Homo-oligomer: A and B are copies of this chain.
């Protein structure tokens, strides 16, 4: 992405390399394509291949004239990992969460059946150990490849992973077990083909669990944000205060307010 300024008018130009088309692979390998050896070790070797332009086009999108909002949307933000100790949580993150007034009315609307009631896939109505399972907004339910559901717990005082102790094991085990069963029943996807995890930091501070298709490279499923529910359960069973002891890693963009709070605390 590049912003080019000429005569006071900006443009956004997006260049994208697209996936290979299967039927053109043999052309790529057989046509007179220059091949340059880079490295060779035992049975492994790497090359640079220079295919003819018509076999290797680049998708180009132009926004012109582009407004300030277009430019912002496409500007890259630097991202940094934070290693948050429990003390950091108490002195930086928790005050930040409490100072924010993130509205989670949409969560309460679902739990109270004021919205999306017809979308509920499964509910355990127990006020302490129960939850509601709904398709995530990101999933259109047209295909199972990018299956994505969310379990929202009925209890309202659990903000995140940081609040969990062995007291919450019955709730977490219900979500793992009943969530798998409900998805197998409704969508025919086996529990062994689901990635079931929490985010830390989450995008809203009401405890929820993500269910995504294992074959789907879902955003937020990488190791610096996702925590497998099965791991969380085992960690709590080993040590009830595991998540009040252990440092946790997460990524923040440099323009986020929480990042600034960590900077001010001298922790970045």
Contacts and interface: CB of A to CB of B under 8 A. Distances in A.
B43 A60 contact: no
A200 B46 CA distance: 26
A245 B238 contact: yes
A246 B111 CA distance: 34
Kindly report how many copies of this chain are found in the complex they form together.
2
Interface in A108-125: 109-110, 115-116, 119
A28 B58 CA distance: 10
Interface residues of A, number: 81
Nearest to A4: B29
A143 B260 CA distance: 29
B15 A17 contact: no
B64 A46 contact: no
A48 B59 contact: yes
Q: Which of A17, A35, A217 has the most CB of B within 10 A?
A: A17
B20 A47 contact: no
Interface in A145-193: 190, 192-193
Interface string A85-109: 0000000000000000001011001
Interface in A40-65: 41-54, 56-65
A2 B47 CA distance: 16
Nearest to A42: B106
A46 B137 contact: yes
A203 to B, nearest CB: 13
B195 A224 contact: yes
Nearest to A139: B46
A221 B228 CA distance: 14
A224 B217 CA distance: 11
16 contacts: A2-B29, A15-B28, A39-B137, A41-B106, A41-B116, A42-B115, A46-B60, A48-B58, A49-B57, A56-B56, A79-B193, A195-B224, A222-B223, A223-B226, A238-B239, A238-B246
